[in-house]
Structure 1
Amino acid sequence: MAVKSALLDIPLFPLSSVLFPGGRLHLRIFEPRYLDLVRECCRDGSPFGVCLILAGRESGEPAVPAAIGTLARISDFQRDEDGLLGIVAEGGARFRVSRSRARADGQLRGNAERWPGEPTQEVPVEFALLQSILERLIETMAPHWRHAARSDYEDASWLGFRLAELLPLDTGEQQRMLELTDPLQRLAELRDILPRFQKA
Structure 2
Amino acid sequence: MSGGRPAPGRGPFAGAPAGGADGRDPTPANRLLSGHRAPRARGPLGLRLVTTVRLPLFPLNSVLFPGLVLPLNVFEERYRAMMRELLKTPDGEPRRFAVVAIRDGHEVAPSAPGLPDQTAQPERGPAAGFGSDPAKAFHAVGCIADAATVRERADGSFEVLATGTTRVRIGSVDASGAFLTAELEELPEEPGDEAGALAEGVLRAFRSYQKRLAGARERSLSTDAELPDEPSVVSYLVAAAAVLDTPTKQRLLQAPDTASRLRDELRLLRTETAVIRSLPSLPMTDLTRSPTSLN
With normalisation by structure 1, the TM-score equals: 0.81
Equivalent residue for 1:157, pick from 232, 241, 258? 232
- Give, in whole Å, the separation in 1 of the partners of 2:185 and 2:231: 24
Shift of 1:4: 2.2
Shift of 1:155: 1.4
Query: Which of the two has greater strand per residue?
Result: 1
Q: Which runs of 5+ in 2 are unaligned?
A: 1-45, 110-127, 131-136, 214-218, 280-295
Q: Which runs of 5+ in 1 are unaligned?
A: none
Equivalent residue for 1:187, pick from 262, 273, 287? 262
**Structure 1 residue aligned with 2:104:** 55
Q: After TM superposition, what 4+ stretches of structure 1 lie above 3 angstroms from structure 2?
A: 77-84, 117-121, 123-128, 133-137
After superposition, residues 96-175 of structure 1 pair within 5 angstroms as 96-105=169-178, 107-119=179-191, 121-124=195-198, 125-130=200-205, 132-133=207-208, 152=228, 154-175=229-250
- Give, in whole Å, the separation in 2 of the partners of 1:135 and 1:82: 40
Change (3 A) 1:188 1:75: same
Per-residue deviation, residues 111-160 of structure 1 (Å, max 9, x unmatched): 111112344952444434135358768xx9xx9xx875x6x2x2121111
Contact 1:42-1:74 within 8 A present in 2 as well? no
Contact 2:72-2:159 within 8 A present in 1 as well? yes
2:57 maps to 1:12: yes
**Structure 1 residue aligned with 2:77:** 32
Shift of 1:104: 4.7
Query: Which of the two has greater helix per residue?
Result: 1
After superposition, residues 59-70 of structure 1 pair within 5 angstroms as 59-60=108-109, 61-63=128-130, 64-70=137-143
Contact 2:57-2:181 within 8 A present in 1 as well? yes
Per-residue deviation, residues 77-122 of structure 1 (Å, max 9, x unmatched): 34569874211100001111221121254x2111111112344952
Shift of 1:72: 0.2
* SS in structure 2 at match of 1:180: coil
Equivalent residue for 1:94, pick from 167, 192, 197? 167
Shift of 1:193: 1.5
Provide the identity percentage: 27
